[in-house]
Amino acid sequence: MKKLDNFLSCLKVLEKADFGLAENNEIYRTGIIGQFNLTFELAWKALQQVLRLHGVQEAETGSPREILQLGYKVGFVDDAPVWLLMLKKRNQSVHLYNEDEIDELILLIKDTFIPAFARLGETLGEKLEEIKEE
């Protein structure tokens, strides 16, 4: 599935980020945040598509927040508070100018968001396999 493949490819790039280099390199920090934003965008769209394939009617349309909440409701997303925080941080990232807030986001990406993306990728892969087995 193209959307899932794109999400997983984008996640691989984010996972390879050198977070040590990000401490002192403004361009690199900006790149990590940009890659996080892209990964998030592809993640919720892949989730939406897999929900549709599973026949979840409510997934036909919806905002990222609605799709994430629906994913949690049907058991495709395991940690709704982390995903809602991710959505909030994605929305705020365009307006981050304070170095402390940027540092906080970089740490969240490394320690919390990348593992959540990885869990979603595994779950979506499993959910696609379930469809193929039917």
pTM (whole model) above 0.85: yes
pLDDT of residue 74: 95
What is the torsional sign of CA 43, 48, 52, 54? Answer: positive
Distance of CA 69 to the CA centre of its chain: 14
Contact 78, 44 (CB under 8 A): no
Average pLDDT, the chain: 95
pLDDT reported for residue 38 = 98
Residue 129's CB: how many other CB atoms inside 10 A? Answer: 9
* 2-133 placed in CATH 3.40.640.10: no
pLDDT digits (tens, 9 = 90+) for 73-110: 999 999 999 999 999 999 999 888 888 999 999 999 99
